[in-house]
Amino acid sequence: MTKFQNQTSGAAASSAKSEIRNPKSEIAQLRAGVTTRSADETRDLAARLAPLLPRDATLALHGDLGVGKTTFVQGLARGLGIDATITSPTYTIFTIHRAATTGAPVLVHLDAYRLEGAAQFEALMLDDFLLSPYVLAIEWPEKIDAWIPKDAWHLTLGITGAGSHVVRLD
């Protein structure tokens, strides 16, 4: 079994495969920073987060190229019950993924890297696709920061060295 480490204390936090026992504890761990040692651990963390998200949630995924933003969205999709191949929508700008279960949130995956500003973003007419319930996961949110809802969950992903990554809820 793999273990996540609390970034601030270095103590073992929780098993990547464990059931969600205490949602407040899971959120507290994310606020402190969770270290993952593989892409699978990052996916597992995101899958555990998915059921904790409020209805019509927006996730702003901050971090440099290659830190695991798309990997995180892959786990998020799995946690939402979406059985599809998730890749970065860098050239298509956004993709929409639906679970087979009626009433499950739709995952809208947006990669804002190539957007030059608010006008290009508005031209996407993304609001037309955000039909409740949804989860909107935005890579490179700083490109459209004026549009990001005030209640968005901001997650920062980074590389800590030796193949480890950190995910922190800001």
Instruction: Convert the pLDDT of each residue in 130-162 to its tens digit.
Output: 878 999 999 999 998 888 999 999 999 999 878
Task: Note if the bond before 105 is cis, omega within 30 degrees.
Answer: no
Q: How many CB atoms lie within 10 A of CB 142?
A: 11
pLDDT averaged over every residue in the chain: 84
Q: At what angle do helices 39-49 and 23-32 cross, to 10 degrees?
A: 130
Overall average pLDDT of the 45-71 stretch: 95
pTM higher than the cut 0.85: no
Is the distance from CB of 17 to CB of 44 less than 8 angstroms? yes
- The DSSP result for 57-85, as a single string, is EEEEEE--TTSSHHHHHHHHHHHTT--S-
Q: Which residue range forms the structural domain that includes residue 94?
A: 3-169
**Phi first, then psi: what are they for 168, rounded to 5°?**
-135, 135
Residues 6+ apart with CB under 8 A from 87: 70
Burial class (CB within 10 angstroms; exposed 0-12, middle 13-18, buried 19+) of 56: middle
Domain of 131, CATH number, reads: 3.40.50.300
The model's confidence at residue 36, banded by pLDDT at 50, 70 and 90, is: very high
What distance in Å separates the CA atoms of residue 65 and residue 114, rounded to the nearest whole number?
Answer: 13
User: End-to-end alpha-carbon separation of the chain, Å?
Assistant: 27
Q: How many domains does the chain have?
A: 1
Q: Which residues pair with 3 in a beta bridge?
A: 15
What distance in Å separates the CA atoms of residue 8 and residue 141, rounded to the nearest whole number?
Answer: 25
The confidence score (pLDDT) of residue 16 equals 42
What distance in Å separates the CA atoms of residue 70 and residue 87, rounded to the nearest whole number?
Answer: 7
What distance in Å separates the CA atoms of residue 111 and residue 78, rounded to the nearest whole number?
Answer: 19
* Percentage of the chain modeled with pLDDT above 90: 59
Q: Residue 16 gets which letter from DSSP?
A: T
HSE value, Cβ hemisphere, 13 Å, CA-based, for 107: 31
